[in-house]
Structure 1
Amino acid sequence: MHQLISLHLQAPQNQYNKLPTVQLKILPTPLCATFFKSKAMVSTQSTLPSHLDIACIRDAFPALAVNGPTNQPWLYFDGPGGTQVPQSVAQAISHAILFASANRGAPFATSQAVDAIMSAASEDAAAFLGVNAPDRIVFGQNMTSLAFHASNAIIPTLAPGDEIIVSNLDHDANVAPWVHAAQRSGATVRHLDFCRHTMTLRPEDLAKLLSPKTKLIAFTAASNALGSLTPVAELVQVARATNAIVIVDGTHYAPHLLPDVDKWDVDLFFCSAYKFFGPHVGLMAGKHEILNRLKPCKVRPASDCLPVRWMTGTQNHEGIAGLSAALNYLASLGEGPTKREQLVMAYKRIALHEAELMQLFTNRLAAQTAWQLTGVQQPDPHRRVATFALRGPVPPSQAVDSL
């Protein structure tokens, strides 16, 4: 929803995606007018929702003022590589690294500035993820690194014969860490397949895999390969028939739809800020019971309190300041008495704009013989986020020209 359209050729992450050679993603946002201005696809006077000032939004992003070799706006299609950032994010990063270069917890100004950055970011992230306590927010390098960090803490709780369930719909970042845990502990990995008709995970299929030996269940909230949304709350409810830790990867979900971690009853939730206008910072939200029970690797002098026990070494304070600025930018697109309510309104507004952009883009895509929309064919943002792939081996330059 908030992800800027950008171009990236990459190998499909999912073994069941049979489309050959390369895969691309289209992740529409209120900033995607830069794409639709090009190639005369649509006038900038199209029927955009009046409650989003598109010109003002574009002005907030310096990258959108940059033209390519043909003096046309660049087409930022590198969805997997992340979004462009607003000026406010760059300013927050710059200010933090210039004036708050210190460690936490000391009685001097720069350290206190770092404490303020971390406290504000934890509160902002808790509001964004729908988490009731900021000490349940853990920052890290990225989703993948945090998942492996959690995996290493989970390994001692597993034994030979225990079972781990992973999904065939997931990016490997939410598979490899749990396969690693199984390999280290002697646990067995079981695979939850997706329905070829709905292109998503079904609770009844998960139920068939459960057993008293199930200790961990990991699945995505939205597929990066097929664009499918999964029924997170229903899957978690089925998983509660066991005592398994339930882990959800929201990296591809959070740019499009607002996470609701507590409502879903998820044990561990991951996402990355660079997917929604922020810098390269990862987030993990966990239940108090899980974060306290597991024993993450850390240096001995580090506090055992939350969330510090999970955040090894000096954190990327300037990146975390940028994350906070990104979330405040998103909240500024909405209204309400609380940060969460502002974000809810912002996501609703952006969803209206995204729906129009997605329809325009999929109509254009349908006219291109080199491309195929993957997954669910309806461009409905309540059912999917848009992904598309090449039908066959086509040179990247030709693929770009066709768009």
Structure 2
Amino acid sequence: MPFDITRTRAAYPALAEGFAHFDGAGGTQTPRSVIDAVADAMRTAVGNRSTAFLPGRRSLELVAGARTAVADLLGVAPDGVVLGPSATALTYTLARTLGADWGPGDEVVVSRLDHDANVRPWVQAAGAAGATVRWAEFDPATGDLPADQFSDLVGARTRLVAVTAGSNATGTMPDVAAIAATAHAAGALVCVDGVHSVPHGPTDLAATGADFLVTSAYKWSGPHLAAVVADPARWAGLRPAKLVPSSDAVPDRFEAGTPSFPLLAGVAAAVDHLAGLDPTATGNRRARVRAGLAAAQDHEGALFARLAAGLAARPAVSVLPAGVRRCPTVSFRLAGWTPAGLAAALGAAGLCLSSGDYYAYEYFQALGLRDSGGAVRASVYHYNTVDEVDRLLAELDRLAEQGEPADR
């Protein structure tokens, strides 16, 4: 059955304010079910983790529930799910842990297409170890990250390859499975940044070829928490820096401090929300999540095709190129406007779009656009509508004719 956009939008209380949210790549709005799950956990007696009393057991259940939910989202074992405050924090933990075993002569491969959270932790860990950093380059004409270049970048001393599954700047989706195969043939590990790709379609860790996959719940209707997933056996071989009395179990030993138990309740509720996007789906939650995200992907794809065609048809709009396979995200500039000025003018009209480099630092540096303000980004999510796309295009027409005020 067609994606029920009316039913879907009704789940999001914030949409009643009337803003058109094209900033899902920076963070999505929150469904009522997630809000209620967080609030219910805060209204209920919850103690720190303990088996001795009921409030302590509830916190254990919240942790386990979040792990199982993320496992269902990504097709992994719950014991392979490490939870944390953000994708950046978790990637730093992983980089410090892996980097402790690196030394001079070792090599790390990173990409100029990636969000800096999947670049800088690896560059810094390599620097601390005396290892060499090698760079995968995107094609500025097509926006793609050619997978064949990794054959020249990866060698016997490569310890890790870090690459995005979906550019948060342009939506480009590299062939991570092919890149991972090249890395694994040389004995290297692969860390895939799935923060921007996971919200926009079914994801399976094994299919990506990744050893580690990172995701952020607030990019798929959840609270501000993140996870990095791997085979539990992969985690078992790693020894992170940790407090002496804290748990030495996997995955607990990778999670520093006491987590936010109410937000963990929200993570589980967010996965349940995704599992309900296709009301006709049956089976276990993993099957329903895949069906729900597939339905949302079709809806987003149709909207994005309309948006992309509309932008391409406007001579005043310059679109940054992206690969053939992409998430529903586009970056662009409008003649006569700075990116920051355009985002502010669109915001004044109730259209929420980001401007700048969105932490895709190396990408905008390579294009020579960072110092002049980067670009404006529009990202489609499953609660967006045809009317919102047309509203954005119409406002761009108005602003193109008007031009940016000199005093802005």
TM-score (norm 2): 0.80
Match of 1:351 among 287, 297, 312: 297
Aligned partners of 2:112 and 2:135 also within 8 Å: yes
Amino acid of the structure 1 residue aligned with 2:82: V
Match of 1:76 among 6, 13, 21: 21
Q: Give the corresponding residue for 1:276.
A: 220
Please give the residue correspondences for 1:234-245 in structure 2 after superposition, counting only pairs within 5 Å.
Answer: 234-245=178-189
Aligned partners of 2:147 and 2:174 also within 8 Å: no
Q: Does 1:209 align with 2:153?
A: yes
Q: Give the corresponding residue for 1:98.
A: 43
1:385 CA displacement: 2.7
- Superposed CA offset, 1:159-209 (max 9, x none): 011100001110111000001101110001000112345422223200111
SS in 1 for 2:185: coil
SS in 2 for 1:247: strand
Amino acid of the structure 1 residue aligned with 2:93: H
Higher mean alpha-carbon deviation, 367-376 vs 285-294, is at 367-376
Amino acid of the structure 2 residue aligned with 1:64: L
- Superposed CA offset, 1:195-237 (max 9, x none): 3454222232001111111111100001112211111111111
Q: Does 1:376 align with 2:319?
A: no
1:313 CA displacement: 0.9
**Alignment gaps of 5+ in structure 2:** 350-394, 397-408
Q: Give the corresponding residue for 2:284.
A: 338
Distance 2:56 2:145 in 1: 46
SS in 2 for 1:372: strand
CA spacing shift, 1:201–1:99, aligned 2, 3 Å: same
Q: Does 1:135 align with 2:79?
A: yes
Match of 1:156 among 93, 100, 103: 100
Q: Does 1:366 align with 2:312?
A: yes
Q: Does 1:312 align with 2:256?
A: yes
Distance 2:147 2:301 in 1: 27
SS in 1 for 2:162: strand
Q: Does 1:51 align with 2:2?
A: yes
Distance 1:273 1:129 in 2: 12
- Superposed CA offset, 1:288-316 (max 9, x none): 23312221122111121111111111012
- Superposed CA offset, 1:305-346 (max 9, x none): 111111111012111110110000110123121111111111
SS in 2 for 1:236: helix
Q: Give the corresponding residue for 1:62.
A: 13
Aligned partners of 1:229 and 1:385 also within 8 Å: no
1:398 CA displacement: 4.2
SS in 1 for 2:198: coil
Identity of aligned residues (%): 35
Q: Give the corresponding residue for 1:385.
A: 328
Q: Give the corresponding residue for 1:42.
A: none
Aligned partners of 1:194 and 1:201 also within 8 Å: yes
Distance 1:187 1:240 in 2: 19
CA spacing shift, 1:384–1:81, aligned 2, 3 Å: closer
Distance 2:194 2:20 in 1: 25
Distance 1:359 1:233 in 2: 25
Aligned partners of 1:100 and 1:114 also within 8 Å: no
Distance 1:211 1:375 in 2: 30
Q: Give the corresponding residue for 1:297.
A: 241
Amino acid of the structure 2 residue aligned with 1:269: L
SS in 2 for 1:58: helix
SS in 2 for 1:157: coil
CA spacing shift, 1:158–1:128, aligned 2, 3 Å: same
Higher mean alpha-carbon deviation, 387-396 vs 301-310, is at 387-396
Distance 1:84 1:371 in 2: 28
Q: Does 1:121 align with 2:66?
A: yes
Higher helix residue share = 2
Q: CA RMSD in A?
A: 1.9
Please give the residue correspondences for 1:226-265 in structure 2 after superposition, counting only pairs within 5 Å.
Answer: 226-265=170-209
CA spacing shift, 1:314–1:215, aligned 2, 3 Å: same
Distance 1:364 1:99 in 2: 49
Match of 2:271 among 316, 320, 327: 327
TM-score (norm 1): 0.81
**Alignment gaps of 5+ in structure 1:** 1-49, 67-72
Distance 2:106 2:177 in 1: 24
Amino acid of the structure 2 residue aligned with 1:387: V
Aligned partners of 1:224 and 1:252 also within 8 Å: yes
Q: Give the corresponding residue for 1:89.
A: 34
Distance 1:146 1:54 in 2: 34
